Amino acid sequence: MTVAGSSSSIPRPDRACSSYLVDDGETPIVLDLGTGAFANLRRHADYDRLGAVVISHMHADHFIDLIPLRYALRYGAHRSEKKLPVHLPPGGLAMLRTLVSAFPHEGGDFLDDVFALSEYDPSRPLAIEGVTLRFAHTAHYIPAFAVRWERDGISVTYSADTAPDERVTTLARETDVFLCEATLRHGEVEQGLRGHSSAADAAGMARDAGVRRLVLTHYPEEATSRDLDQAARAIFAGEIIVADDHTTLDLAR
């Protein structure tokens, strides 16, 4: 599992927004593809090798680099005749088509010439070759979905954007790696409707879910690795990793 983007919505200097590559050697799957993440992703996988892209929700810092990926698949050196499956959340297809309707393009459809687009049903498992993906609603400002990747008894659960939520905790139960957002700084309180977590919130969900490893991600430039680690370590006794772009974990370990 490789982190292609670890920033929250404002990219940290020299860093990208949310994106995670889970590569089992057969079907590399990208969970989100936020601002600047495609360039990072290219250091770890050729884009024509990708098995699918799965988008958690339709905030730009989680999907906007579908656009440079499209150009690469259309015009790049590693072009493929096979269309890349892109799985969007409910309502995502209309939003994406509205966005790209402003772009001039050269014949054909801007999206459908390289992507096989669909919307997943979050109430049902999604099978992608030998991988199973499961979803759970999160507590966010727009509909958003945590994702659990599973294959051969190994699992990665990605929180997407969420305030602490039992649905996410349940999805992450006993997962090998829990990728959880830590947008809020220590002591920061969201006013009104909550949609994000702190490192301490992430640690609480990890503890309650009994996960093996907690990876803190989606954090702003004001947060330091030490602050994030200390806040989480006071609550979660397992292994804690503060994500950075290009962090790679061996899931079999």
Q: Is residue 184 part of a domain?
A: yes
pLDDT of amino acid 133: 98
pLDDT of amino acid 191: 82
The token duo for 36 is 């600047």
pLDDT of amino acid 77: 84
Give the Cα separation of 243 and 246 in Å (integer).
8
pLDDT of amino acid 107: 57
pLDDT of amino acid 188: 85
CATH label of the domain that carries residue 49: 3.60.15.10
Q: Is residue 253 part of a domain?
A: no
pLDDT of amino acid 19: 98
Q: Which residue, chain included where needed, has tokens 């590399």? A: 28
pLDDT tens across the length of the chain (253 residues)? 999 999 999 999 999 999 999 999 999 999 999 999 999 999 999 999 999 999 999 999 999 999 999 999 999 987 777 899 999 999 999 999 999 988 876 656 899 999 999 999 999 999 999 999 999 999 999 999 999 999 999 999 999 999 999 999 999 999 999 999 999 988 888 888 899 999 999 999 999 999 999 999 999 999 999 999 999 999 999 999 999 999 999 998 7
Q: Where are the alpha helices (DSSP H) in the chain?
A: 37-41, 60-63, 66-75, 92-100, 166-171, 199-209, 225-233
pLDDT of amino acid 106: 61
Q: Is residue 249 part of a domain?
A: no
Helix (H) / strand (E) containing 242: strand 239-242
**How far apart are the two ends of the chain, measured CA to CA in Å?**
12
Q: Is residue 252 part of a domain?
A: no
Angle between helices 225-233 and 199-209 (to 10 degrees): 40
CB of 131 within 8 A of CB of 151? yes
Domain that holds residue 220: 2-242
Q: Is residue 247 part of a domain?
A: no
pLDDT of amino acid 46: 94
Q: Is residue 54 part of a domain?
A: yes
The token duo for 147 is 């994702």
Q: Is residue 250 part of a domain?
A: no
Q: Is residue 251 part of a domain?
A: no
Tally of domains in the chain: 1
